[in-house]
Structure formats: C-alpha cells, structure tokens
C-alpha cells in the first residue's frame, strides 16, 4: 500500500474515533513535519532553545493531547500542525517573557526574513492577539498566515494544506499581512 493511501486510511480511522490511528499516522508524515519546522527555524537566532525536532515533537504532543482533534485529509493535518507550531512558539515566547522580567536575554525563533527583524516576545504576543482578532473577522486569512509565517509553508503547500486555490492563498496572504501590519502599527502607535 502506498504511503498516501495508508495516510488516507489512518486519517479516516482517526476521524472514526480510533485514537491510535494518529500515533500510526505521525511516522508517515514525520519527515514532512520536520521539513516544515526546519524551514521555519533555519533563519532563527543562534542559541534558541527550540530546534526542529523539538518543535515537531511539541506540536505532536499538543495535537495528540487534543481530545476533539478532527483531521479530514493530509492538507488539513498540515494546517492543523501549522497552528500547533504557532501555539508552541507563542507559548515559549510567553514563558521567556515571564523569565525576562526576572532578567536575562530573550531569543525568539522566528523567520527573520519574513518578519524583517528579530521580534521581541512582546511583539510576538501582540501578533498572537492580532491573529486571534483576524480569525474572528476572517478565518481563512488567519489560517493562511499561520501556514506561511509559522510553519514556513510555501504558497502551493499552503493551498494544498487548506484545500484552497493558489490564487486564493496569494490574495489571502497579501490581505492578512496588510491587515496585521495595520493592526500592529495602530496598537504600537508607530
């Protein structure tokens, strides 16, 4: 049986309530998850405490511990994983920010090329809050941003993960960035 067929069967089994199917599914997509995490982390600051394997494993633990987790297809799995990676990174930023109040230097692992600077934990938390507000306005824009920014997916990969057309993803990416830029600039008074 081809991996793609096996993945589809395991996703159906998981949807039907077979919780063990998720554990059998992860090894089949593990390399793909590592590539996503690696792309996201490769331009991060040196000395960060989160590496590719760590991000994949923390995202897995987050997903495996979700009792109502629904996975419709491979693309949906990648989109859900992108969201889990975002939550892991934001959670780490919150913890580091809390430690910072007691002293020490903070490094956050984000794609500097996309962000254009090394974001502070405060900025990352502002972004997380802005993404939550964006999700209330337009779920697709928030999901596209998560896939592109946090999981490092390309346009085609994001389209596949979300079951959308390439052009829809391109438009959503531009709109999401513009909305977030405006939202974050307005809140920061810059």
**Averaged in consecutive runs of 10 residues, what is the pLDDT profile of the chain (190 residues)?**
81 86 88 81 57 87 82 85 81 73 48 51 84 94 89 86 92 93 69
Q: State both tokens at 87.
A: 């939550």
Instruction: Give the pLDDT of residue 108.
Output: 44
pTM score above 0.85:
no
Residues 26-33: contacts with CB under 8 Å, at least 24 apart: 26/60, 28/3, 29/74, 29/77, 29/78, 30/56, 32/78, 33/59, 33/60, 33/81
3 state SS for 144-171: HHHHHHHCCCCHHHHHHHHCCCHHHHHH
Integer Cα distance of 169 and 163 in angstroms: 10
Integer Cα distance of 58 and 109 in angstroms: 14
Instruction: Give the pLDDT of residue 165.
Output: 94
Instruction: Give the pLDDT of residue 166.
Output: 93
**Residue that has been written with the tokens 């993945």 in this structure:** 7
List all residues 6 or more positions away from 23 whose beta carbon is below 8 Å from its beta carbon. Answer: 64
Instruction: Give the pLDDT of residue 99.
Output: 67
């Amino acid at each position: 049986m081809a991996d793609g067929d096996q993945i589809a069967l395991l996703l159906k089994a998981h949807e039907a309530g077979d919780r063990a199917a998720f554990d059998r599914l992860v090894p089949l997509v593990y390399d793909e998850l590592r590539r996503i995490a690696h792309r996201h982390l490769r331009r991060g600051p040196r000395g960060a405490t989160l590496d590719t394997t760590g991000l994949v494993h923390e995202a897995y633990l987050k997903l495996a511990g979700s009792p109502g987790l629904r996975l419709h297809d491979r693309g949906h799995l990648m989109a859900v994983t992108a969201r889990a990676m975002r939550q892991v990174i934001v959670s780490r930023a919150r913890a580091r920010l809390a430690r910072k109040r007691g002293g020490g230097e903070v490094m956050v692992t984000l794609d500097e090329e996309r962000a254009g600077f090394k974001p502070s934990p405060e900025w990352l938390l502002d972004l997380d809050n802005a993404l939550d507000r964006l999700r209330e306005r337009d779920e697709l824009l928030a999901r596209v941003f998560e896939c592109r920014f946090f999981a490092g997916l390309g346009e085609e990969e994001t389209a596949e993960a979300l079951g959308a057309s390439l052009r829809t993803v391109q438009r959503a990416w531009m709109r999401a960035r513009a909305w977030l830029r405006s939202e974050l600039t307005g809140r920061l008074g810059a």
